[in-house]
Structure 1
Amino acid sequence: MNVSIIDPLQGDFPEIIEEYLEHGVMKCIAFNRRGTLLAAGCSDGTCVIWDFETRGIAKELRDKDSVCPITCVCWSKYGRHVLVSATDKSLTLWDVVNGEKITRITLQQTTLSARLHPSSRVPSVCLACPLSSAPVLVDLNTGSTTVLPVSVSDTGNGVVPALRNKFSDGSPPLTPTAACFNKYGDLIYVGNSKGEILIVDYKNIQVHGIVPVSGGAVIKNIVFSRNGQYLLTNSNDRTIRVYENHLPQKDGPATLDELSRTVDEVHGMEKLKAVGSKCLILSREFQDSINRIHWKTTCFSGDGEWVVGASGSKGEHKIYIWDRAGHLVKILEGPKEALMDIAWHPVNPVVVSVSVTGLVYIWAKDYTENWSAFAPDFKELEENEEYVEREDEFDLVPDTEKVKESNVNEDEEVDIFTVEKDSAFSDSDMSQEELCFLPAVPCPDSLELQDKYGGSSSKLVDSNHSGSPFSEEAGQNGQPSNPASSPLEAVGNSMGEDTGLTESSKRRRKPSEKGLELQAEKVRKPIKKIKASGKLSKAKNKSMEEQDTSNGEYGDDDVYM
């Protein structure tokens, strides 16, 4: 997208709340790689998988061993696994397709954020950022952990510094500490409380570069854009910074070694800073210079063209959107509810936000209706114009159609097997192993509606022990009565008998509001007929009794005569 020629007031970003999702009290969200599924962690320890196309619940992952609130959810690269962290210090890896728990590991502290290694097909390693300790690499197969460095010491030689538990002044490092993988997972970027970004090699856990952040404030979040070209930091000084990544996407450690050899004139800390200055270059800073609000969380748009910041003020649900040039293009104002988490759709201009009440709001672009899109020949006019017809407009065979010739080569073979690359995912093709959709379970209607209509229709039934007026009619016809508790059940039973389906083979689904009204209307008609036939039968019986009595009297007279 060429941002330089696009009007910022007509940009490709969300504008209004299109819809909201409700299921328990949701706390955190995450899209899968294609944006077709949305994972949401709830306060009761449940992870809900939403089908984002149909807005239905596709899967519900519930762990009996953990009922604590979820702090973070993370998808694997191919969307078949979800990593969930909770306040009970647990990390749980789920199989999304089967809904089974693969492994559960308990750490020493609560994990605030967790990320699976991006290059592994089967998740085996994750990066966890605990509440009050350094980030750790967790082996999901064995449960072993490796602590990452959060600070280095100036040793005065060319040796890469090792991990330190305290700063030079003896004070412990402030926590929590942010960390994230790069695009291919061969490097880890760690932000510490001194306002530094450490570039750590994933394999040997060595620091190869340090990038000092202006201000020296605590770094709360570190996020990479999807293409890996930009890095975003959120600091305690209420400023969002975007850095350009000058390292290649692959073989990052090898490039760092080459940069280290080019700066042999300096050693120790200065050497690490010299290498870091060539890896990340500050591009732009974003902040609210008027209100000076702090940011709850930040993210990039799917294409990396927009920078998003969620307000951390109490009682505010505001989302700020900037372009990478630093211009504020939109402020989305939601309800009077504090904001907990946000996520931008990987493909579409859609933002999903979570409020403190547990609702998930879906922000989308407000598209204007364009009827000419349905008819290419239709032309919209601002005012009436005089129409001049063509000479052959009303001829059976216009001359303009006679001279038309088709430019389509009918003999050319059409390739229907080759799948073109998606421009939004230029890094890789669609993999057959990737999970994009799950069968969605339709949400049942509210029980209040069923009770409302079921109660109103049950009043039509006589309040006797038989339960249903159909039992009386069946008894008169010499058939065994089958009492029903309500007319809805009677209708359902009759439908089941007509179709020949057993109770176990029927798909139990609560009818909708309109269906309940139609069923109640169907029940009212036979009830009226039954009551009317009952009145007629009573009148007929009474007349027959009178006739029998009169005949009996004349008959006796005839006998005695």
Structure 2
Amino acid sequence: MNAPIIDPLQGDFPEVIEEYLEHGVIKCVAFNHRGSLLAAGCADGSCVIWDFETRGIAKVLRDNDCAAAITSVSWSKYGHRLLVSAADKSLTLWDVSTGEKIARTTLQQTPLHARLNPGLSSPSLCLACPLSSAPMIVDFEIGCTTLLPVCVPEMPDVLAPPQRSKCPESGPPFSPAAACFNKCGDLVYVGNAKGEILIVDYKSVRVLALVPVSGGSAVKNIVFSRDGKYLLTNSHDRIIRIYENLLPAKDVLRSLEDLGKNVDGVDGVEKMKTVGSKCLTLFREFQDLVTKMHWKAPCFSGDGEWVVGGSACKGEHKIYIWDRAGHLVKILEGPKEALIDLAWHPVHPVIVSVSLTGLVYIWAKDYTENWSAFAPDFKELEENEEYVEREDEFDLMPETGKVKVSSVNEDEEVDIETVEKDAFSDSDMSVEELRYLPAEPIPDTNEEQDELKLIEARISASPASEEAGQNGHVTDLVSSPQAEEMGETRGKRKRKPSEKAMELQAEKAKASKASGRTVREKSRAVGDQEIDESVNGGGDDDDDAYY
């Protein structure tokens, strides 16, 4: 029988911290479409990409013009491009394969979030949500921005000309708005400070529908599920809401126009609300009724079955997991560090969370060993039992193990070239998708090289080497056992010796120096004795022999 039927709380969701990743101070993370690569933005302005299968660093993207903290990272649909937003008001588009910078632009306000258009294979359009400005569409090819509306105009039929400029002027300050693309990248869903969800056609800069959020609280986060069937919002009233998307997957604009034509006798805002009710419908609400906490970085699981949200309380690293029916199934408690960002793996039940200290924690399922899965007749024992062997157990052809005729046709050809499309993939197979990157070795930094030179200088200037030099022996630092013990072999990765190793090295040098002095004293004594004998006794023998 299926396990979820017996216990509905036993699902495929993470349970424990498997390991953690570290590279400077990390601020944000994002998986690529397949979940094979994990990009993370750091506080020093760099962006590191991990191979999530091997947990090795595949590439480090560093912009010399940017030294501010990264606020968000976003992958393109096929993983060839990466968009990075920083606190210095910059947006940078990278080529992931080559590690080269494609384009860079500077906004008037700091972008809190930036997302590439998911409907384009090589996107040059992105959606940015600045700190105190309206969301905007940024076109890297022509270098202009288009501000999106954050409220419904009084006369929606009269369209104002879109504001397009290379450096848009900052308007009056207001609460930052949240925005995201739909699955196909045709529309932009904007959540404003009035507690409304606007469905905007960014090409014509026109509001097509309006969905009021119950309570009228400002929307902080808005994100679609992977399949585009559900929309998640996080509001200031500390409630996470799930809306069901009623629009079709294709020809969304035409469907919205048909809905607007079918609404008669109503104009203005009421018409947009009527259209919005046919686009989105409230599905579930999630909140903590006891603590009434704020939520941070809420998102869906890869299959959309689970909803996850991080606690925004200081000093807490808690992750709440609900099923789509609204039941709280798990609370993950991590270290006593605040949580600033999290992401769910697109395929596997894995969550990565970023702490305030800059570490990335990997949460995975706690798998228990099930030995009965190896064979149907395998039995797990609670304690040792006496085993009695059968009479024919070690016979060549035991009667109990008769050979069964295999039903597999060995002459049938096996197809090893066709790649089956997995259930979580919605990529176009005609476009080559970037799944993995070759790992690049990390060169030693200048500080490490200076430390290695200092260690070599200490070894070369040690008393043992001085004694060897005085005796006419040249010490080879490369092949010496002492250098090999300290990891100083050339051509290999070197490591800094510990303090205890340095103390042992100094003691060996003192011992070798003391032994050298003893040998020299003995040799000097023997030499003086030979000279005395040659002067006193040896000379008489020579004289006698001569005469």
TM over 0.5: yes
Following superposition of structure 1 onto structure 2, how do residues 101-250 of structure 1 map, counting pairs within 5 Å? 101-155=101-155, 159=157, 174-250=174-250
Contact 1:307 1:321 in 2 (8 A): yes
3-state secondary structure, aligned to 1:122:
coil
Contact 1:71 1:112 in 2 (8 A): yes
Over residues 28-79 of structure 1, what are the superposed CA-to-partner deviations in whole Å (9 max), with x where a residue is unaligned?
A: 1111112222211122212122222232322222222121111111111222
Q: 1:509 aligns with which of 493, 500, 506?
A: 493
2:341 alignment partner in structure 1: 341
3-state secondary structure, aligned to 1:424:
coil
1:558 alignment partner in structure 2: 541
1:58 alignment partner in structure 2: 58
Query: Is structure 2 residue 529 aligned with structure 1 residue 546?
Result: yes
1:537, 1:46 → 2: CA distance? 60
2:296, 2:79 → 1: CA distance? 27
Aligned length: 532
2:218, 2:161 → 1: CA distance? 19
Deviation at 1:560, TM superposition (A): 3.6
Q: 1:303 to 1:493 in 2, by over 3 A?
A: closer
1:168 alignment partner in structure 2: none
3-state secondary structure, aligned to 1:261:
helix
2:167 alignment partner in structure 1: none
Contact 1:468 1:483 in 2 (8 A): no
Aligned-residue Cα RMSD (Å) equals 4.0
3-state secondary structure, aligned to 1:10:
coil
1:30 alignment partner in structure 2: 30
1:274 alignment partner in structure 2: 274
Please, which runs of 5 or more residues in structure 1 have no aligned partner?
166-170, 497-505
1:287, 1:223 → 2: CA distance? 17
Contact 1:242 1:283 in 2 (8 A): yes
2:522, 2:514 → 1: CA distance? 13
1:301 alignment partner in structure 2: 301
Q: 1:524 to 1:403 in 2, by over 3 A?
A: farther
1:520, 1:431 → 2: CA distance? 60
Following superposition of structure 1 onto structure 2, how do residues 450-469 of structure 1 map, counting pairs within 5 Å? 463-464=462-463, 467=465
Contact 1:487 1:523 in 2 (8 A): no
1:40, 1:311 → 2: CA distance? 20
1:412 alignment partner in structure 2: 412
Deviation at 1:292, TM superposition (A): 0.7
Contact 2:75 2:116 in 1 (8 A): yes
Letter in 2 for 1:557: D
Over residues 81-123 of structure 1, what are the superposed CA-to-partner deviations in whole Å (9 max), with x where a residue is unaligned?
A: 2111112211111222222222110111111100001122222
1:39, 1:493 → 2: CA distance? 33
Over residues 377-417 of structure 1, what are the superposed CA-to-partner deviations in whole Å (9 max), with x where a residue is unaligned?
A: 63213467787765643432113444421222111011111
1:96 alignment partner in structure 2: 96
Identity %: 60
Please, which runs of 5 or more residues in structure 2 have no aligned partner?
164-170
Contact 2:462 2:509 in 1 (8 A): no
Letter in 2 for 1:322: W
2:488, 2:532 → 1: CA distance? 42
Letter in 2 for 1:223: V
Letter in 2 for 1:437: L
2:461, 2:212 → 1: CA distance? 82
3-state secondary structure, aligned to 1:120:
coil
1:330, 1:285 → 2: CA distance? 17
Deviates more, 1:97-106 or 1:396-405: 396-405
2:166 alignment partner in structure 1: none
Letter in 1 for 2:235: S
TM-score, normalised to structure 2, is: 0.85
Deviation at 1:488, TM superposition (A): 5.0
